Structures are given as structure tokens and as C-alpha cells.
């Protein structure tokens, strides 16, 4: 565990640009050495953070200062790993799990679920630009998993979008035909596990945004989302 002076120095350095970057977050983790912060050290650290924040409110970058403070508070919270209740989409598994970006590796969890799929994948997401996730979908293609993908028509043509790459690899793809966005972010793995939440399948969501998703095996919810997927799939032939 680092001493309070090291942590305070890191805090002051990070406040210069009003951002707690991913590298600075890793430095917090290193200094805390994976343990829960000592309450006294944490209190001093947060007192300094709030003091710097109050000073920052007097300048034009106060909004960035607010975001900086939020990330600092998160960095000092005890680390909680998501419950790995099902590595893939195990039949009969009782799944109830939450994943929060910045505290959990949400992209890695999605990849693990995709790699665990054996029969089917029904994916309905706004956009896909995260190459690790796309690569996992392509691995599922080679395993013979039946994959259907619904995405937003405008986002599918964005620079960095992997939709065409997946389509050319054999994934069945449909996009909305609407002036509005297809903004869902849900997926059904082997018709046994539902993923649903704000988390976009992008590197920005994984590395920068405050996002979440939940995994559930509740049949009542699964059936409702499966029904919605079928409706959208048929609507956008």
C-alpha cells in the first residue's frame, strides 16, 4: 500500500488536465496493491479531491472537474469482481450478474460469453467497433454457431464499424430502415442467458464511459426479449 504522500502527488498530477486517465487509474490500483484503501488514507485523499474540485469550480473547465472527481471516487472504492455465474451460456445455469465499466472489464465478459456460445447468438446492438468482441463473434462463426445480428443502419456505415466485416464472414445481419436509431443493446446466448444494458460494444464504452449491463437467465425476461428480437428481425427483412 502506498503512503498518503504518493497518492496525493498522483491526485494533484491527475487534476492538472481535469481527467483521471486509464493510466492514472492503473497507477491508483498499483499504489493500492489490489487491497481495500485504508479508511484514513481514503478520507484524506477524498478531502484533497473535494478541495481541488471546489477550486476547479471557479474556472471554465468546471464540468471536466466534476467528471474528474467522479472518477477519483470510483478509483478509491473497493474492487468488486462480477460473479462469474456462467462462463458462457450454460444450459440450466442460474444467472444474475451485473457488470459496470471502469470497475469491471465489460468487454472481456462479453467476449467470454460469446466464446461460450454453442448453438445460437441473437445480437441486437446499436453498434460494434470493439475488435475483441468482433473477433469473438467470428470465432463463433467458425464453431458453427447460428448468429443473427441487428444493428443501426447509420452506425453500420461509420468508420471503424465491424458490421460489414461480420456480414462478409457469414453473420446474418439486418439493420433498421428508419430515420431514427435502433438503440437497443441486448443479446441472447443459446436462448439461455440474456445480456441487456447501456453498454455499447465499442472500445470507447469499454475504456471511457460509465456503462453497465446485466446478465439474467430468468425465462420470463428471456422470452420477452426473444419475442422482441423476432419482431425486429421480421420487420427489417
Q: Enumerate the active-site residues.
A: 183, 185, 190
Give the number of residues written for the chain: 237
* Whole-angstrom distance, CA of residue 131 vs CA of residue 161: 9
Dihedral sign, Cα of residue 24, residue 26, residue 32, residue 35: positive
* Whole-angstrom distance, CA of residue 6 vs CA of residue 49: 14
- Local structure of residue 196 (DSSP, 8 states): E
* Whole-angstrom distance, CA of residue 199 vs CA of residue 125: 9
C-alpha cell at 201: 460494444
Tell me the three state secondary structure of residue 101: strand
Residue-wise DSSP of 118-187? -SEEEEEES-B--HHHHHHHHHHHHTT-EEEEEE-TTGGGSTT--HHHHHHTT-EEEE--SSS----EEE
| Integer Rg of the chain from CA | 21
83, 217 in Cβ contact below 8 A? no
Amino acid at each position: 500500500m502506498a503512503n498518503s504522500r504518493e497518492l496525493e502527488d498522483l491526485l494533484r498530477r491527475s487534476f492538472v488536465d481535469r481527467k483521471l486517465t486509464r493510466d492514472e487509474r492503473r497507477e491508483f490500483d498499483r499504489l493500492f496493491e489490489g487491497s481495500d484503501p485504508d479508511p484514513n488514507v481514503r478520507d484524506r485523499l477524498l478531502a484533497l479531491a473535494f478541495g481541488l474540485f471546489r477550486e476547479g469550480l471557479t474556472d471554465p473547465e468546471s464540468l471536466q472537474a466534476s467528471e474528474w472527481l467522479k472518477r477519483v471516487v470510483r478509483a478509491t472504492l473497493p474492487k468488486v469482481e462480477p460473479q462469474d455465474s456462467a462462463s458462457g451460456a450454460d444450459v440450466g445455469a442460474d444467472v444474475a450478474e451485473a457488470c459496470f465499466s471502469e470497475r469491471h472489464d465489460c468487454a472481456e465478459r462479453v467476449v467470454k460469453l460469446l466464446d461460450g456460445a454453442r448453438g445460437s447468438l441473437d445480437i441486437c446492438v446499436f453498434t460494434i467497433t470493439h475488435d475483441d468482441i468482433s473477433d469473438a463473434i467470428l470465432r463463433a462463426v467458425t464453431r458453427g454457431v447460428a448468429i443473427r445480428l441487428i444493428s443501426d443502419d447509420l452506425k453500420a456505415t461509420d468508420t471503424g464499424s465491424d458490421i460489414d466485416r461480420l456480414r462478409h464472414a457469414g453473420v446474418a445481419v439486418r439493420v433498421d430502415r428508419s430515420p431514427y436509431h435502433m438503440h437497443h443493446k441486448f443479446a441472447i446466448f443459446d436462448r439461455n442467458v440474456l445480456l441487456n444494458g447501456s453498454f455499447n460494444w465499442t472500445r470507447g464504452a469499454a475504456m471511457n464511459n460509465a456503462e453497465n449491463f446485466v446478465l439474467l437467465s430468468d425465462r420470463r425476461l428471456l422470452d420477452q426479449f426473444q419475442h422482441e428480437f423476432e419482431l425486429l428481425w421480421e420487420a427489417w427483412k
